[in-house]
């Protein structure tokens, strides 16, 4: 593990929070309903994750209305397209993160930005350099890096840099989920942290802004929030499985 990521585990309360989140994920994925109803559960989680992600980008809509197909908001539709594409993109996330991010933006922002901006990073030279460094980290993660920690860093950095026009937050949240899938923590894509983020939206906004400062306290705040969001997502999956 690189010294940078290893040092994050030394921040107060971070390692226990990540461990608790991992335990919640493992417990949810062991639910007996996963063996017989994994497909319907994945579809429901995909829909809820899309609605939550669009909400966090300032486009809230009723879940049942989206399910009924009456919502035409391009950000919601983009989030749905992104959610449906994650399984297919996961195998390429580690080998070609830049191309996958571009594809995520194409899916998320169609109808929201001009065609010239689709899939093309924007921003300052410093921001683009940070994006490049993040992609290098994704492509060559250090052995032993906890998947939830890496996902949190991916998410936080993409929110801080916002390298794409339009619903860049949808891209950031999808990239974090891809990290959980590609790392094998959630191989079926059943854990949607954006559900946890939306449930604690004020904390999400505050913690992500704190992360962008780069201070130890700011990074610690974000990592703890992210771990709790994963835990909330795992709990919701378990509740849905109980109802199957």
Token representation of residue 100: 């996958």
123, two tokens? 């921003």
- Mean of pLDDT over the chain: 93
Token pair of 130 as six digits: 């940070």
Cβ-count burial of 107 within 10 angstroms (0-12 exposed, 13-18 middle, 19+ buried)?
A: buried
Q: Report the C-alpha gap between 102 and 178 in whole angstroms.
A: 14
Q: What is the pLDDT of residues 172-230, one digit of tens each?
A: 999 999 999 999 999 999 999 999 999 999 999 999 999 999 999 999 999 999 999 99
Query: What's the average model confidence in pLDDT over 116-129?
Result: 92
**Considering only CA atoms, which of 103, 112, 127 is closest in space to residue 54?**
112
Identify the pLDDT of residue 141. Answer: 67
Question: In the Cβ-directed half-sphere of 231, how many Cα atoms lie within 13 Å?
Answer: 15
* CA distance from start to end of the chain: 40
CB atoms < 10 A from the CB of 123, how many?
Answer: 16
Fold designation for 3-242: Fic-like fold (1.10.3290)
Instruction: Give residue-wise pLDDT tens across range 95-115.
Output: 999 999 999 999 999 999 999
| pLDDT value, residue 1 | 44
The model's confidence at residue 244, banded by pLDDT at 50, 70 and 90, is low
Domain ranges of the chain: 3-242
Q: What is the pLDDT of residue 33?
A: 80
pLDDT digits (tens, 9 = 90+) for 3-42: 578 889 999 999 999 999 999 999 999 988 877 767 888 9
What token pair was written down for 213? 């400062």
């Amino acid at each position: 593990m690189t010294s940078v990521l290893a040092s994050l585990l030394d921040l107060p309360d971070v390692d226990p929070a990540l461990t608790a989140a991992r335990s919640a994920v493992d417990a949810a994925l062991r639910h007996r309903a996963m063996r017989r109803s994994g497909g319907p559960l994945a579809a429901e989680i995909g829909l809820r994750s899309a609605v939550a992600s669009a909400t966090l980008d300032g486009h809230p809509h009723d879940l049942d209305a989206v399910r009924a197909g009456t919502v035409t908001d391009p950000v919601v539709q983009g989030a749905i397209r992104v959610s449906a594409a994650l399984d297919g993109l996961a195998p390429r996330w580690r080998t070609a993160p830049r191309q996958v991010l571009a594809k995520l933006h194409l899916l998320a922002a169609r109808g929201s930005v001009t065609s010239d901006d689709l899939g093309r990073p924007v921003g300052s030279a410093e921001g683009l350099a940070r994006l490049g460094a993040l992609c290098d980290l994704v492509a060559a993660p250090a052995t032993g890096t906890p998947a939830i920690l890496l996902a949190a860093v991916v998410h936080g950095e993409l929110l801080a840099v916002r390298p794409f026009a339009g619903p860049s937050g949808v891209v950031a949240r999808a990239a974090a989920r891809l990290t959980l899938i590609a790392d094998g923590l959630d191989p079926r894509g059943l854990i949607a942290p954006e559900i946890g983020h939306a449930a604690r939206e004020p904390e999400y906004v505050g913690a992500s802004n704190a992360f962008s400062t780069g201070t130890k306290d700011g990074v610690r705040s974000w990592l703890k929030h992210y771990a709790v969001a994963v835990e909330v997502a795992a709990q919701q999956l378990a509740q849905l499985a109980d109802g199957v």
